[in-house]
């Protein structure tokens, strides 16, 4: 590797830029994970995570990525043959459904227009059709589908589910929405929320975090899928004593404590407002360039990442390669069906207005050098939003 001056711009929709404070916290010496200092840390982290999930119920922290969190939700609450409904929201919704299928869950993955947020009507209609003979145990919904940059109104879906009286549990993938956009686990009535460390929480990859409500814990008591490492009962037992049933990722936990402090200092509402502003500025830039944002409805445009379609005849990955080579910035690739057709601008985690302007300038310069047809003026449009 050769040295490149200045800081790399890691503008993926995760992992995100890890703030110096978190990196420094993680550089402290590893301690005894059964000693007195560690027990205090565990208690503070669980309390802090309850605050971020907005729950008074159980929270879990595992050494894993978000995908491990998907599996945690499945093996702790479901039994082989249980019926689950999910929708074609995008790459992550499909991947979660695939994990459940591998565990012998009867997954009904229903078609959905990936450019729009999932609606409450679609969910209740699906429960009517697919839940008649065998009751549907759970509905899997991705809050912020990071592959498409489309956000779904979880509050509306949770309310409609309750009103329908159906009784299916609501499992939410909040991997790229936690600490980015509002999520109220208890108030909205979510049964399981799954997230990870490397997105809004501003940590390196390596932790899966979950919140589980009373109905999920009830289901846990009778669920029969094999489980060991992920078992909630064992985890709760050990966590209650300030420890884990295995060696936890101590240094990542130091980082999590620091990140939770930072979120508290800024205030979650301000964190959400900042992400909302940066998402609107990004969308304004893309529209001024004359390119299409994948999310059709601006109100459903993700606060975490903007997926941009490149014009036919151009390859989004060639553009990303030029931007990496020339300007030292990493952008997200198109996932699944959108490989080469879409690039994704991550604007979540630890960034400010100037980091966003640098990001957008890098994209605009990239469009120029890669010869992707576009109009000038994206940066001005973003500045209009940022200075409003
Ligand atoms: C990143 C992401 C995941 C997967 O997380 P990994 O940490 O890569 O396992 C799942 N769902 C969504 C919505 C994501 O953005």
- 121 and 232 part of one domain: yes
Helices (H), 105-197: 120-130, 154-164, 185-188
- 200 and 283 part of one domain: no
CA of residue 208 relative to chain centroid, distance:
11
3-state class of 108 per DSSP?
strand
What pTM does this model have? 0.97
Residue 326 included in any domain? yes
Instruction: Ligand 1, residue 142: give the atom nearest the CA.
Output: 13
3-state class of 114 per DSSP?
coil
Tell me the two tokens of residue 58: 């159980």
CA atoms within 13 Å, Cβ hemisphere of 14: 29
Please, what is the angle between helix 66-77 and helix 214-222, to 10°? 60
Residue nearest to atom 3 of ligand 1 (CA): 66
Residue nearest to atom 12 of ligand 1 (CA): 175
How confident is the prediction along the chain (388 residues), in pLDDT tens digits per residue?
Answer: 788 999 999 999 999 999 999 999 999 999 999 999 999 999 999 999 999 999 999 999 999 999 999 999 999 999 999 999 999 999 999 999 999 999 999 999 999 999 999 999 999 999 887 655 468 999 999 999 999 999 999 999 999 999 988 899 999 999 999 999 999 999 999 999 999 999 999 999 999 999 999 999 999 999 999 999 999 999 999 999 999 999 999 999 999 999 999 999 999 999 999 999 999 999 999 999 999 999 999 999 999 999 999 999 999 999 999 999 999 999 999 998 899 999 999 999 999 999 999 999 999 999 999 999 999 999 999 999 999 8
- Calculate the dihedral angle through the C-alpha atoms of 7, 9, 10, 12, rounding to the nearest 10 degrees: 180
Q: Calculate the average pLDDT of the chain.
A: 96
- 241 and 290 part of one domain: no
> In this structure, what CATH number is given to the domain that contains residue 325?
3.90.1150.10
- 235 and 177 part of one domain: yes
- 258 and 276 part of one domain: no
Cα 147 to ligand 1 centroid, rounded to whole Å: 9
Per-residue pLDDT of 246-277, as tens digits, reads 999 999 999 999 999 999 999 999 999 999 99
- 240 and 344 part of one domain: no
Residue 49 included in any domain? yes
- Non-local (6+) Cβ contacts of 177 within 8 A are 143, 144, 151, 183, 195, 200, 303, 304
Q: Which of 66, 71, 49 has its CA nearest to residue 58?
A: 49
- 153 and 199 part of one domain: yes
User: Where among 231, 264, 297 does a domain terminate?
Assistant: 264
Cα 193 to ligand 1 centroid, rounded to whole Å: 13
Domain that holds residue 304: 9-16+267-386
Name residues contacting ligand 1 (CB within 6 A): 14, 65-67, 92, 142, 144, 146, 173, 175-176, 196, 205
Backbone angles phi, psi at 167, to 5 degrees: 90, -5
Cα 67 to ligand 1 centroid, rounded to whole Å: 6
Rounded to whole angstroms, the Cα distance separating 319 from 70 reads 32
- 223 and 276 part of one domain: no
Peptide bond into 15 cis (omega under 30): yes
- 80 and 227 part of one domain: yes
- 251 and 362 part of one domain: no
Domain count, the chain: 2
Cα 169 to ligand 1 centroid, rounded to whole Å: 21
Q: Which of 130, 72, 114 has its CA nearest to residue 96?
A: 72
Residue 2 included in any domain? no
């Amino acid at each position: 590797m050769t040295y490149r001056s200045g800081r790399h711009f890691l503008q993926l929709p995760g992992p995100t830029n890890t703030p110096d404070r978190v990196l420094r916290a993680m550089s402290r010496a590893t301690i005894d994970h059964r000693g007195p200092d560690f027990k205090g840390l565990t208690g503070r982290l669980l309390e802090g995570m309850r605050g971020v999930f907005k729950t008074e119920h159980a929270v879990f922290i595992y050494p894993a990525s978000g995908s491990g969190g998907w599996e945690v939700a499945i093996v702790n609450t479901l039994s082989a043959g249980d019926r689950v409904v999910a929708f074609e929201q995008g790459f992550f919704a499909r991947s979660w459904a695939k994990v459940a299928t591998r565990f012998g869950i009867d997954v009904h993955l229903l078609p959905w227009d990936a450019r729009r947020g999932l609606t409450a009507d679609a969910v209740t209609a699906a429960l009517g059709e697919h839940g008649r003979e065998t009751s549907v145990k759970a509905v899997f919904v991705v809050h912020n589908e990071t592959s498409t940059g489309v956000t779904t109104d979880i509050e509306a879906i949770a309310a409609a589910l309750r009103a329908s009286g159906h009784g299916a549990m609501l499992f939410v993938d909040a991997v790229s929405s936690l600490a980015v956009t509002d999520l109220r686990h208890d108030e909205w009535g979510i049964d399981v929320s799954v997230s990870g460390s490397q997105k809004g929480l501003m940590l390196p990859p390596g932790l899966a975090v979950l919140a589980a409500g009373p109905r999920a814990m009830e289901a846990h008591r009778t669920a029969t899928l094999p489980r060991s490492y992920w078992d909630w009962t064992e985890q709760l037992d050990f966590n209650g004593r300030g420890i884990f049933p295995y060696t936890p990722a101590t240094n990542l936990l130091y980082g999590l404590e620091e990140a939770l402090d930072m979120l508290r200092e800024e205030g979650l509402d301000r964190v959400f407002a900042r992400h909302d502003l940066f998402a609107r500025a990004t969308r304004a830039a893309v529209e001024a360039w004359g390119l299409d944002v994948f999310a059709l409805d601006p109100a459903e445009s993700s606060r975490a990442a903007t997926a941009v379609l490149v014009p036919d005849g151009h390859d989004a990955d060639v553009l990303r390669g030029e931007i990496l080579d020339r300007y030292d910035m990493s952008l997200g690739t198109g996932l699944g069906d959108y490989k080469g057709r879409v690039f994704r601008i991550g604007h979540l985690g630890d960034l400010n207005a100037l980091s966003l302007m640098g990001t957008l300038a890098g994209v605009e310069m990239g469009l120029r050098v890669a010869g992707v047809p576009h109009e000038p003026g994206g940066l001005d449009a973003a500045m209009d939003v940022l200075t409003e």
